[in-house]
């Protein structure tokens, strides 16, 4: 024998209120949505029909407050009451002759159950516009899953009334101010009036509509109104307001540009209306990932919401809508770059770090923004656009210390070298040839820069031979070889450069100085193992520098040692290398010695 499932309505309502309805307040949304859908359905059979919704608050003394929502929509016949109102999960909006699918907001056939979260019972009085001679129908449903239906003898205009009575503990949701606030929030964009009636007072609560659809005398006025609207919606003084539109999804609205860099990994929550009814202010999946710097308010007429109303279904329509929103934003940015460069610069100043991160991942963003992005270079801060005006060869140093070491020398040679030691920079520069195929990108180090150094003549080399040999001896404990060249700037007496191995030894030595005896033994062994590569750094004297020229003639060994050591320490400091204890001692002794000499 076959049996039918039984449904425990209370259980279903609890389930829905925990998982689908984010708060009990959404009952107002569901009631308004049903009214809007009913008016839309009536519009299909009576194209000139003008919609009207009333919300009446009753506050009877000593009894729970009540809310009556009345619409002049299509109404329901007695059969439809049994079929659609009384069957959970069945909706009149999914198919059938009265439906032009896509015009309605509801689709699941569960919305009305949200009223049971705030009201013990639901009374619906309805009259179908399709059967004007039929009697109105009254449907009374209880949260325990029972309902009664009867025909009424009184006559009504076609439409529907829904009566709710506050459950104990839910009275606050029925107070006129709260109802007004909720109805304004959910129905603010509706193109016909929602009237709130309390006693004798009647208040139209949705005057204004969507501000981005208004006509303005000029662009400035429009900006002012939209930015004020953004402030009202999100409590933020936005940088700019950009109209957005997509044919697919039938979407329009406004994107507000954030005036600050949003924290990494935070997804902005967008305020979304569906067919002019508020859907959610927490929709996350509407924008392309790269548009992290905006927060939007939009209305979509042709996207499918999930049952929770917190996001849209990931379908091809949503994907295409996302692309169209991206296009609106791209157009704005291109426009900004071309017509309002000063504003673009301010935009970049706020968002460049995040844009760099995104440009690494996304070729399109890279193409769009690269020219505007700032980089530290040996010639000062420059945008990439300025940089590539100067040269087709993009030279960069992949770490900050190496950059410090060569920046002055590169600058003196008028060589723009980018410091790509900051987050994302090196990865971003690696992508440059994809975006600008005529540019070459190379990672350089101090040896590349010093290639432009001039050698001394043979005669000069002969003259400084002894000096260099002595300097080499003085520098040997520091694993440093000495050479002599001519380079710019002349004020720079010497340049210290080291390769990766050299950097390793320097850090090894510093660790040994602070390590305990056991570890310093281990570290000792490690450094001894590599006796072969004793010189891992170069110290290059600049014979354009008058001090160095003078130094090469000094015969006094003590003076010479101190001077070479001091130049060495100074070069380390210029290159931002942390000094070892030995090097610090040299600096100390040298300075004190010099002070002593001058007294």
Ligand X SMILES: Nc1ncnc2c1ncn2[C@@H]1O[C@H](COP(=O)(O)OP(=O)(O)OP(=O)(O)O)[C@@H](O)[C@H]1O
The reply to whether omega before 96 is within 30° of 0 (cis) is no
Min CB(246)–ligand X separation in Å:
23
Q: What are phi and psi of 530, to 5 degrees?
A: -105, 40
Of 92 and 295, nearer to ligand X (C-beta) is 92
Give me the least distance between CB of 351 and ligand X, in Å please: 38
The least CB distance from residue 290 to ligand X, in Å, is 32
Cβ nearer to ligand X, comparing 54 with 321: 54
Tell me how far apart the alpha carbons of residues 24 and 118 are, in angstroms, rounded to a whole number. 7
- Residue indicated by tokens 């009214």: 35
Q: Which is nearer to ligand X, 10 or 559 (CB)?
A: 10
Tell me phi and psi for residue 225, to 5 degrees. Answer: -65, -45
- Residue 289's nearest CA partner among 384, 237, 364, 375 is 364
Longest C-alpha distance within the chain, in Å? Answer: 124
The number of residues making up the chain comes to: 599
Sheet with 440-443, strands from edge to edge, namely: 380-383, 374-377, 417-419, 393-397, 440-443
* Least Å from the CB of residue 87 to ligand X: 8
CB of 97 to ligand X, least distance (A): 13
Residues that bind ligand X (CB under 6 A): 30, 33-35, 38, 71, 73-76, 84-85, 91-93, 106-112, 160
Q: Are 308 and 19 in contact (CB under 8 A)?
A: yes
Q: Rounded to an integer, what is the distance from CA 242 to the centroid of its chain?
A: 16
Cα 415 from Cα 288, distance rounded (Å): 39
* C-beta of 308 vs 383, nearer to ligand X: 308
> Does residue 34 have a known ligand-binding role?
yes
Q: Closer to ligand X at the Cβ: 30 or 445? A: 30
The torsion defined by the Cα of 361, 367, 371 and 375, in degrees rounded to 10, comes to: 10
Judge whether 30 is annotated as a binding position: yes
Cβ atoms 400, 421 nearer than 8 A: yes
The DSSP code for 260 is S
Complex with ligand X: residue 96 or 433, whichever CB lies closer: 96
Rounded to a whole number of angstroms, the minimum distance from the CB of residue 112 to ligand X is 4
In the three-class reduction of DSSP (H, G, I as helix; E, B as strand; rest coil), residue 67 is classed as strand
Query: Does the annotation list 71 as a binding residue?
Result: yes
Q: Compare residues 24 and 259 and give the one whose CB is closer to ligand X.
A: 24
Strand arrangement, sheet containing 240-246: 240-246, 251-257, 294-300, 270-274, 277-283
Give the residue with the Cβ less far from ligand X, 84 or 436: 84
Which pair of tokens denotes residue 531?
């006796």
Q: Which residues are annotated as a binding site for ATP?
A: 30, 34, 71, 160
Annotated binding site: 30, 34, 71, 160
């Amino acid at each position: 024998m076959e049996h039918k499932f039984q449904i425990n309505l209370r259980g279903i309502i609890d389930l829905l209120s925990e998982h689908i309805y984010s708060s009990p307040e959404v009952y107002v949304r569901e009631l308004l949505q049903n009214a809007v859908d009913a008016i839309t359905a009536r519009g299909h059979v009576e194209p000139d029909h003008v919609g009207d919704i009333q919300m009446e608050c009753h506050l009877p003394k000593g009894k729970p407050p009540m809310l009556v929502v009345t619409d002049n929509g299509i109404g329901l016949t007695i059969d439809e009451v049994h079929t659609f109102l009384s069957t959970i999960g069945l909706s009149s909006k999914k198919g059938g002759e009265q439906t032009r699918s896509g015009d309605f907001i509801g689709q699941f056939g569960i919305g009305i159950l949200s009223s049971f979260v705030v009201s013990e019972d639901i009374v619906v009085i309805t009259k179908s516009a399709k059967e004007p001679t039929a009697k109105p129908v009254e449907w009374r449903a209880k949260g325990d899953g029972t309902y009664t239906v009867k025909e009424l003898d009184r006559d009504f205009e076609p439409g529907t009334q829904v009566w709710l009575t506050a459950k104990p503990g839910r009275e606050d949701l029925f107070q006129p101010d709260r109802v007004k606030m909720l109805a304004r929030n959910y129905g603010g964009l509706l193109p016909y009036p929602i009237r709130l009636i309390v006693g004798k007072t009647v208040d139209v609560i949705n005057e204004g509509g969507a501000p981005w659809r208004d006509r303005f005398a000029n662009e400035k006025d429009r900006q002012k109104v939209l930015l004020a609207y953004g402030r009202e919606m999100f409590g933020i003084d936005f940088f700019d307001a950009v109209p957005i539109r997509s044919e697919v999804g039938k979407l329009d609205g406004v994107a507000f540009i954030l005036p600050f860099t949003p924290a990494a990994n935070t997804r902005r929550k967008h305020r979304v209306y569906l067919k002019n009814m508020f859907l959610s202010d927490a929709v996350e999946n509407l924008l392309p990932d790269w548009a992290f710097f905006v927060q939007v308010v939009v209305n979509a007429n042709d996207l499918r919401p999930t049952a929770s109303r917190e996001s849209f279904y990931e379908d091809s329509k949503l994907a295409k809508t996302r692309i169209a929103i991206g296009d609106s934003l791209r157009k704005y940015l291109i426009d900004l770059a071309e017509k309002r460069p000063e504003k673009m610069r301010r935009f970049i100043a706020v968002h460049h770090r995040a844009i760099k991160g995104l440009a690494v991942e996304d070729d399109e963003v890279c193409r769009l923004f690269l020219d505007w992005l700032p980089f530290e270079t040996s010639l000062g801060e420059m945008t990439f656009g300025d940089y590539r005006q100067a040269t087709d060869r993009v030279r960069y140093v992949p770490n900050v210390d190496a950059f410090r070491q060569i920046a002055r020398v590169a600058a003196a040679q008028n060589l723009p070298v980018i410091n790509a030691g900051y987050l994302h920079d090196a990865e971003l520069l690696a992508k440059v040839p994809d975006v600008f195929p005529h540019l070459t990108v190379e990672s350089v180090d101090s040896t590349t820069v010093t290639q432009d150094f001039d050698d001394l003549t043979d005669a000069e080399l002969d003259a400084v031979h002894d000096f260099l040999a002595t300097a080499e001896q003085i520098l040997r404990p520091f694993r440093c070889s000495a050479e002599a060249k001519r380079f710019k700037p002349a004020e720079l007496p010497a340049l210290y450069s080291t390769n990766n191995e050299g950097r390793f030894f320097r850090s090894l030595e510093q660790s040994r100085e602070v390590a305990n005896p056991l570890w310093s033994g281990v570290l000792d062994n490690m450094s001894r193992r590599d006796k072969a590569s004793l010189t891992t750094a170069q110290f290059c004297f600049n014979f354009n520098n008058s001090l160095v020229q003078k130094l090469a003639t000094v015969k006094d060994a003590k003076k010479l040692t101190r001077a070479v050591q001091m130049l060495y320490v100074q070069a380390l400091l210029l290159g931002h290398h942390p000094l070892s204890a030995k090097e610090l001692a040299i600096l100390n002794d040298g300075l004190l010695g010099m002070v002593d000499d001058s007294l």
